Structure 1
Amino acid sequence: MRFRYTFQKIVDLKMNEKTQAEWMLSEAIGKMRAEESSLAELEKAKHEMQEELHKSSSQVTTVSNLLMMQSYVNHIDDRIQLKHRDVQAAKTIVQLKQDDLTGKMIEEKVWTKAKERAFQQFSSEVLKKEQNQLDEMATNRFKRLS
């Protein structure tokens, strides 16, 4: 006799949902890292421009050139602020995906445990039937020999 779990399709579905949630989390983490990388590049560009502005202020340069550089630094600051929001949004999405994955893992574990309990019950029933058959065979043999 072979074990066949009646809710196997649900177990498979829960496993697939968990796998999809893992992929979604991985994708969200990738996007978050891309946003963080972009933010780091902006901060590096700002730092470089500030150094250049500082060097230019100690050298002979035009006021319009200094104003243009300061305007560019301000523009980078604005982009950095926007990028901070993007990074925060990406982190929020990652947290939501992690929470979703946690829920999917719990659901999968519940169904897997239910399947394991059903298998244990099936195994004990099979063992009980086998023992009953062996007992019956022993009783019949005893009756024949007596």
Structure 2
Amino acid sequence: MALLQGFEEINMSVPTGKSIMTVTDSVVRFNKATAADLGYPAYVKILINDKTRQIALQVCTAKNGNAVKFSKPEGKQTTSVNIKDAVVLDALHKYFTLPEAPEGEVAYQSVPGVVYVEEKTIIFNADAATSGTMKKRGRKKNA
């Protein structure tokens, strides 16, 4: 329709917050906003661009050969998404140098992501990572 040529629809999806990826020595954690921004997908592909040092999450199906189990359905995903797969950790660790952590703490690097709604993709730039340490989560081990 020539009348509306050049117009674009207003995107009605409301941003849910900042998508954050946190890398530690034993887990890659994506905050709940990351799952929401992708539409709570059951599976994602994790892609790496070695030249630009970027990591991308892209929604896929279980049938994809490199699918990684990701989120529960909307309303059921109450916490961050944790990926502990050794292959994923090994691939990502070469982009992040974790600082030394004091006893009882865990070193991490955290990266904000850029959401591409149409492509159902979020891209994280490893060079934008910030370092820190946090208290260990989970149950305390008896001394």
Structure 1 length-normalised TM: 0.15
Q: Whose strand fraction is larger, Structure 1's or Structure 2's?
A: 2
| Structure 2 length-normalised TM | 0.15
| Structure with bigger RCO (C-alpha 8 Å, 6+ apart) | 1
Structure number with greater Rg is: 1
